[in-house]
Chains A and B, each alone.
Chain A
Amino acid sequence: MNFHTRKLLKLNLAPWRMATVGGLLLSGLLVVAGRAFYLQGLNTDYLQGKGDAVANRNLTLPAHRGQVADRHGQLLAISTPVESLWARSAELELTGEQRAHLARVLDMPARELSSRLDRKSRSEFSVRRPVTPEQAARITAMGVPGLHLRREFRRYYPAGEVAAHVVGFTNVDDLGQEGVERAYQDWLAGREGERQIMRDRRGNTIRDLAPIKTAQMGGNLALALDLKIQYLAHRELAAAIATHKAKGGSVVVLDAKTGEILALANQPIFNPNNRRDYDPNSMRNRAVIDTFEPGSTVKPFVAAAVLERGLFHPDSIIDTPQTWLVGNKLVRDEHPHPQMTVSEIIQKSSNVGAVKMAMTLTPQQHWEVLHRAGFGQMPGSGFPGESAGRLRDASIWRPVEQATMAYGYGLSVSLLQLTRAYMAFANDGEVMPLSFLKREPQEIVGERVFSPAVAREVRAMMELVTQEGGTGTRTRVPGYRVAGKTGTAHKLVNGRYASDCYLSSFVGMAPASNPRLIIGVVIDEPSGGVYYGGSVAGPVFAQVMAGSLRQLGLPPDAPETATKMTQNTPPLLARAGGGL
């Protein structure tokens, strides 16, 4: 059979039907192709982005800030992760009820919370940093869209206010604001890392999409500070400020051999862990930043200058009338002696004697000694805001000025600077560079200020200060020989020296046979009736020195007779304990 020829089976379609079906199929194909082109070609970035958003993640690898510890590894500052509450203003949806609940959870007044949530200036902002773990759990349970928790590092200061002025603090963004935290910001700060990963449906990381940029953790710091000595200095200073009703004060403890700052305490204090109520006045590190007229504590430098030039010997006798006229200025001694040796001038802190010695020097020579000892220059501790004090150029000194400069007026120093300068006497004429960081003895190069012989002679004079007839008998430390110098200076108030405002100071060293520690103490405006440096700052020195010497385990160097003498005076013994 031939089907082709059968008429009945012959295809008999109208041509328009073919065209219609073909056209429909074609248009269907075009729609699909168009859609595919739209998805693959035009809209691909958007869709790829959506896809990646589900599977791919960019992670920031957190880097914490380095720790700060004292010389024995006791922590002074450490960063610990905490949660903080953030909001995205675009996604934020909160009912009135939720608002009230959130305010209760955060323990924040509802109005304050509203004003925080309603600021639309930034797309993402923090609501509360940090929140406690319990608060974090309750907020997560609320499930408010647009509110999320973020992990951040918070800085804690375990030593609190005791070391606050040295360590300083950071702000909420982990940037150092004061003290060591600021000085070593670059070293302490960590650098965040980044990593791109692909995740599966269950949130597991399956692979890295790009090489990992590892997070760089912040470096740790070991300070020169000895927390136990620091605490001792802090405690004794606070006690003295309370006893003498003073406005403020500072204590600096230096290692005479290495220039390391073993302790540095100030009053008033602040608590670095509580960042709510900041008082700039109490945050200032007075020992480094504030300057004062040193008063009698500069007299040893005058003595060193005249001894160095061979103008006097320690036993040279100088006539010291009660008053002495330089230009139109009457220099006066409160406890006059008609004649004194150079040693006695230092021991009894005679203004007239100091002036008569100083006037044998030319202004240039006088200036040069003070300059070499670091007056008017940055002490170089690297502490933010440290001051250089003031020492005017010798060419503009008038005789009156040179005279007042001999007993410590007309120039200004910070306590750190003054204590550093005494290193010249303690360390046989050599001043070591200051350091807030712990360091190895071999890496230090000192600077020679006086010859060893002159330094020893002046040190012997300063030892007389603490002995019978000296101004600093209350600075004695049982079992040890102590050398030092008292200072009592009138404060400048509104451009005039106030007769009833004093700065009482004492700078001393022990054991005097081979000093290991130098301690500088200054008390600002004691108003309890006592104001002599030896009576106000002296006992603080003695207490801190006694405790520190014991802490360092240094062998006593006092002759037995001296020890016996103190053994027979019970009232002194009651105060002998330095504690800790």
Chain B
Amino acid sequence: MSRLNVVLALVLVVCALAVIQAQHRSRTYFVELERLKKEARALEEQWGKLQLEQSTWANPARVDTFARTQLGLVPPAQERIRVETGRVEPWGGTP
């Protein structure tokens, strides 16, 4: 009888240690999870800011002025546009 008690006491001690260890691991993982969540939020915010920046750069008004003034681009005149209809047509204009 007393031997069984000793064994049970030992099992109890082992269990208690396991509980402590599990608790500790759960806390470390939880902290890690929190850190990653925070990081995810920060990244999401950054993504939003980058999207905002991208759309500011890609604003048609800005692209238009940039193309006209910096790059010297102009829309093609009508006689320089050739429409491909699938059949061969004589070409009259200057390419």
Which A positions have Cβ atoms within 8 angstroms of B?
A: 64, 67, 74-75, 78-81, 156, 158-160, 162, 204-207, 227-228, 230-232, 235, 478-479, 555-556, 566-567, 573-574, 576-580
Contact = CB atoms under 8 A, between A and B. Distances in A.
Interface string B56-93: 10111101100000000011111101010100000001
Given A206-B31, A227-B60, A231-B61, A579 B75 contact: yes
A78 B52 contact: yes
A232 B75 CA distance: 13
Contacts of B52: 75, 78, 80, 156, 158
* A-B interface, 6 closest residue pairs, ranked by CB to CB distance from nearest: A577-B75, A231-B60, A158-B55, A75-B55, A576-B78, A478-B78
A566 B83 contact: no
A81 B52 CA distance: 12
Given A162-B60, A162-B61, 9 more contacts: A64-B48, A81-B45, A160-B61, A227-B60, A228-B60, A479-B81, A573-B79, A579-B75, A580-B60
Contact of A573 (B31, B45, B61, B78): B78
Nearest to A578: B75
A113 to B, nearest CB: 29
A479 B60 contact: no
B35 to A, nearest CB: 9
Given A80-B45, A205-B31, A158 B74 contact: no
B55 A207 contact: no
Interface centre among B56, B60, B79 (most CB of A within 10 A): B60
A205 B64 contact: no
B34 A205 contact: yes
B79 A555 contact: no
Contacts of A74: 55, 58
Contacts of B60: 162, 227-228, 230-232, 580
A107 to B, nearest CB: 23
Contacts of B34: 204-205
B80 to A, nearest CB: 9
A217 to B, nearest CB: 10
Contacts of B64: 231, 235, 579-580
B49 A80 contact: yes
Nearest to A78: B52
A67 B44 CA distance: 13
11 contacts: A75-B51, A158-B55, A205-B30, A228-B60, A479-B81, A479-B83, A567-B78, A577-B74, A577-B75, A580-B63, A580-B75
A30 to B, nearest CB: 39
A577 B59 contact: no
B25 interface: no
Contact of A479 (B49, B61, B78, B93): B78
A230 B76 CA distance: 21
B45 to A, nearest CB: 6
Given A158-B52, A479-B78, A555 B58 contact: no
B48 A78 contact: yes
A574 B76 CA distance: 10
